Amino acid sequence: MTSTQTKRLVKPFFLDISPAERTEIQSAVGEILESGQLILGPKTDAFENAFAKYVGTKFAVSVSTGTAALEIILRSKNVEGKAVAVPTNTNFATVAAILHAGARPVYVDMDPSTFMPNLKMLEQVHKHENIAGAIWVHIGGLIAPDFIETIDYCKANGLFMIEDAAHAHGSALPEGKAGSLGDAGAFSFFPTKVMTTLEGGMITTDDEAIANMARSLRNQGKGGAAFGNEHTDLGNSWRLNEIEAAIGLVQLRKLDDMVARRERGVSDLTEFLPSLGLEWCSVDHMSQFSGYKLIVKHPEDDSRSVSEIKEALKAQGVIPGGGVYDKPCHLQPVFSDVAHPKEGLPISEKWCPRHICPPITSGTTEEDSKQIRDAYRSVYADRASS
């Protein structure tokens, strides 16, 4: 490679919108602007109906962000003054939503094989805390192998179960898709997610009371009258707009195809990782995996830091994706006033800083996969089997 050549990069972000789809979206934007109805119009209705059908729920209510989706669901459950179990290994938004809804987060540690809690951990928390329910995070798009049993436990004990499905568009167990398994699901359409509306979120549920409250809370508490002047609930301006809904319709139409391409990228790497003695969070129990993040654990017997490994991968033109997550929430400065066990949450504290997510997207090509494999082989050369 000459000094004037630029190293080919494999990046962790890909906006999956083709030229033809851009033209389609531009046409839809023109129609929306000409109509003058920029919110709560036909595009929003169509997107919500299509998303509910895709997930397999009776209702879907679009909102401005995934964070708003979580807070709205929590508020519909009247959690103010109550305790809610939540994984410490999650995005800021999950814990922040609990606090904004007036509830108290109760942290749960994680199983190192899944990077999320298991049923036994919830049982232990429930034994010592008077929780009203739980938020379970489908981390990286992975649904816990014991999630159905965990839901059954919640039902038997009068606890609600909210799915944080921000990473899990299209993820599914044999029993159903993410967002259709618990009391309600919260999706994010942030630009880096499996599908995007640029910004936005969606609430999915079979519970009509949750759906009705969501429609009110997202629209300044206007209850059933979307454009009236009577406010029945203390809501907020949490609406998705018509242009975002139009983009969502285009993205949703090809979601399964985008997920399939992500799954191929995941398979290309997981078939190779055993040759390096590397472990990852398996998705073999799932009927479909969104492929948002493949969580690869940095070996305990490797003295190099994760930062050193990431820099070595970058030197090979492979830019790792964001972690899920590098620092657990109970150690985040903003949550310093939220109580957590004196002994800490040791599994999360050990493994959150010790994993690397390779850059797999719906745009990952065979050439990208080869470059990722070559980079890992180079970085972990001393672990490669003959």
Q: What's the CATH code, domain 255-383? A: 3.90.1150.10
Distance (Å, rounded) from C-alpha 357 to C-alpha 328?
Answer: 16
pLDDT digits (tens, 9 = 90+) for 186-217: 999 999 999 999 999 999 999 999 999 999 99
User: Taking residues 34-46, what's their average pLDDT?
Assistant: 97
Which residues share a beta bridge with 163?
A: 136, 185
Residue 326, pLDDT above cutoff 90: yes
The two domains 19-253 and 255-383 share their CATH topology (first three levels equal): no
pLDDT of 118:
98
Question: 19-253: what fold?
Answer: Aspartate Aminotransferase; domain 2 (3.40.640)
Task: Give the 3-state secondary structure of residue 134.
Answer: strand
Tell me: the pLDDT tens digits for 286-322? 999 999 999 999 999 999 999 999 999 999 999 999 9
DSSP-H helix ranges across 117-191? 119-128, 147-156
Tell which residue, 313, 251, 330, has the closest CA to residue 9.
313
Q: Is the pLDDT of residue 122 over 80?
A: yes
Closest CA to 196 of 185, 204, 184, 188: 188
Question: Does 157 have pLDDT greater than 80?
Answer: yes
Residue 357 has pLDDT above 60, yes or no: yes
pLDDT beyond 60 at 333 = yes
pTM: 0.96
pLDDT surpassing 60 at residue 80? yes
384, pLDDT greater than 90? no
Q: Span 236-251, mean pLDDT?
A: 98
229 — pLDDT class (breaks 50, 70, 90): confident
Domain boundaries, the chain: 19-253, 255-383
List, for residues 91-112, the tens digit of each pLDDT value.
999 999 999 999 999 999 999 9
- What DSSP assignment string belongs to 184-253? EEEEE--TTSSS--SS-EEEEES-HHHHHHHHHHTBTT-TT-TT-S---S---B-PPBHHHHHHHHHHHH
pLDDT at 184 over 50: yes
Residue among 153, 100, 145 at smallest CA distance from 125: 153
What integer best gives the mean pLDDT of the chain?
96
- Tell me whether residue 209 is exposed, middle or buried, using C-beta atoms within 10 angstroms of its C-beta: 0 to 12, 13 to 18, 19 or more: exposed
Q: Which tokens go with 165?
A: 């499905």
pLDDT of 385 reads: 67
